[in-house]
Amino acid sequence: MTPPAGRPGKRKDAAPPTGPTPAHASGARVAIYDTTLRDGCQAEDVNLSVHDKVRAVGYLDDLGVRYIEGGWPSSNPRETEFFERVRDLELKHAQITAFGSTHRASNAVEDDVNVAGLLASGVDVITIFGKSWNFHVTSALNIPLERNLELIRDTVRYLKAHRSRVFYDAEHFFDGYKADPEYAIATIQAAQEGGADCLVLCDTNGGSMPWEVRDIMQAVRPRVTAPLGIHCHNDSEVAVANSLTAIQCGATQVQGTINGFGERCGNANLISVIANLELKMGIPVLPPGGLGLLKETSGGLYELANLTHNKHMPYVGESAFAHKGGIHVSAVEKNAATYEHVAPETVGNHRRVLISDYSGRSNILYKAKEFGIDLSDQSALSADILAQLKDLEASGFQFEGAEASFELLIRKAMGTHRRFFELAGFRVIAGRRGNHDPSVSEAIVKVRVGGQERHEVSEGDGPVNALDLALRKALAGFYPQIAEFRLLDYKVRVLTGSHGTASRVRVLVESGDAHGTWGTVGVSSNIIEASYQALVDAIEFRLMRGEEPEPHE
């Protein structure tokens, strides 16, 4: 999706800026270096197969990142297989990089297995890390400080003799600088002497603050001639801020992961880094159209990692441009810049208006318009719908995740809702035949459609599944299209604990077909009744949306 004309992503309707736009100190293009497939996979809940990693490369290349760090080739067979498979990929924008460490102090660089593995990976760009903190050199490596400088210099020089580009990650650089500035600088000078193409300063423990990053970057910049990069972890919740600060101070490479995946609290979130660079700092880092793929890339990596999307993530989350308060919605209708800092379409997202008891008439009008219903000249009707909404939410209903139920509510208030079937009765039985047998659920449903009555029985994995199956079975003869959609998700929430097992419950159901998904809701002190309400709304919404013909006789 191409950003609007002018400064990338700048809204035509945006309020005037309150201050000068920061510019990159060197004026050089900033390279995005993605380490999701290595650093990101060290996150507790992230485990990508080789196939997943190859698919991730496709997302990242389409987005337009400059470098994709594939992993540590010699660490395990899975990493070796990955590098074998990506050799045949034709990438449009990215280069695959391999990651490893300086050679062991006990042998020569040309005899080091790790270094040999980096060269065997077949990639033309290699990144190695070394120790910058004297504490790590003497305590973790247990070698003299001077020997560590030799390891850095010799490894970079050796790799540079065999490959066109070598990056050096100065592990724990900021902590090392705080402990001993001169030695920390000596480590990156050693990498520079070896021929490193970029010296990447790492906040490995994630404990540095933006002002510390600024001061250290400004102190380091005059001491080296090679380009600087930045690699931040998020243990203090400032990895993105630290990355942007480093770029303001002249860094020309920024490392991070999609969605902030990474060990402990994660890495700098490249989604936010990229959006802020392009939209806030005026520094282009993606090819034309790349910015509009941010949401798709974020979602794709969440799916590959089999993780629930973070709906509150800046820029790309489902809630990033969601408006709930009536005053907000009224203002956004007049000018979206009143409550949106960028246009959602710029990053591939979209605006949403939520329906709740915080809603005003503006919310009702906005949602009705989304459904193709114009209530702008029907103030009495919209006021009645708003009153119904508040009464229903007071009794436990929630329409934020059940917009299909809300559309049905509007159409019922308008008198345009069509009843596709009538319930003649249902019964659900749950039991166990023996002490060691699995539980059995059976549902009996009787419905009337067009003067005909259908009576069906189904067993299911639990009472709600049995009820869903029986209801579908009873209606399938009248509406064959009912087989085209499925129940995708089912959530139950107890609304109050004051009555114990007799408390009211809210059931949210998500259904979907090849054309999309929709949510419905039911509330009752009986969980089966609440489930039935949500299931019926799901079916009626699908039949209404499909403009179904009259039922088959």
Give the 3-state secondary structure of 12-33: CCCCCCCCCCCCCCCCCCCEEE
Mean pLDDT, residues 42-69 taken together: 96
Mean confidence (pLDDT) of the chain = 87
The CATH number for 540's domain is 3.30.160.270
Q: What's the pLDDT score for residue 261?
A: 98
Could you give the CA distance from residue 442 to residue 473 in angstroms, rounded to a whole number? 13
Asked if residue 551 has pLDDT above 70, the reply is no
Residue that finishes a domain, picked among 304, 333, 354: 304
Q: In terms of domains, do 261 and 331 share one?
A: no
Residue that finishes a domain, picked among 352, 375, 394: 394
Q: What's the pLDDT score for residue 319?
A: 87
Asked if residue 233 has pLDDT above 50, the reply is yes
Q: What's the pLDDT score for residue 365?
A: 73
Residue that finishes a domain, picked among 304, 338, 357: 304
Q: Is residue 7 in some structural domain?
A: no
Q: Is residue 195 in some structural domain?
A: yes
Higher pLDDT, 166 or 392: 166
Q: In terms of domains, do 379 and 269 share one?
A: no
Cα dist. 499→201, 292, 396, 507 in Å? 58, 50, 15, 18
Q: In terms of domains, do 217 and 79 share one?
A: yes
Render pLDDT for 167-180 as a digit per residue (tens, 0 to 9): 999 999 999 999 99
Q: In terms of domains, do 82 and 208 share one?
A: yes
Q: In terms of domains, do 205 and 271 share one?
A: yes
Q: What's the pLDDT score for residue 370?
A: 74
Q: In terms of domains, do 441 and 381 share one?
A: no
Cα dist. 53→61, 77, 78, 179 in Å? 12, 14, 10, 38
Q: What's the pLDDT score for residue 372?
A: 80
Could you give the CA distance from residue 411 to residue 408 in angstroms, rounded to a whole number? 5
Q: Is residue 181 in some structural domain?
A: yes
pTM of the predicted structure, to 2 decimals: 0.73
Q: In terms of domains, do 52 and 97 share one?
A: yes
Q: Is residue 26 in some structural domain?
A: no
Asked if residue 321 has pLDDT above 80, the reply is yes
Q: Is residue 509 in some structural domain?
A: yes
The CATH number for 97's domain is 3.20.20.70
Cα dist. 551→154, 319, 476 in Å? 79, 39, 10
Banded model confidence at residue 75, pLDDT cuts 50, 70, 90: confident
Q: In terms of domains, do 340 and 458 share one?
A: no
Higher pLDDT, 251 or 4: 251
Banded model confidence at residue 361, pLDDT cuts 50, 70, 90: low
Q: In terms of domains, do 227 and 334 share one?
A: no
The Cα diameter of the chain in Å comes to: 92
Q: What's the pLDDT score for residue 336?
A: 79
How many domains, in total, are found in the chain? 3
Q: Is residue 116 in some structural domain?
A: yes
Banded model confidence at residue 359, pLDDT cuts 50, 70, 90: low
Asked if residue 464 has pLDDT above 50, the reply is yes
Q: In terms of domains, do 332 and 299 share one?
A: no
Q: Is residue 552 in some structural domain?
A: no
Q: In terms of domains, do 153 and 187 share one?
A: yes
Show the domain range for 186.
31-304
3-state secondary structure of 481: helix
Could you give the CA distance from residue 463 to residue 441 in angstroms, rounded to a whole number? 5
Q: Is residue 149 in some structural domain?
A: yes
Q: In terms of domains, do 53 and 197 share one?
A: yes
Q: Which alpha helices (H) appear in 306-378, and where do they start and end? A: 326-334, 361-370
Asked if residue 23 has pLDDT above 90, the reply is no
3-state secondary structure of 196: coil
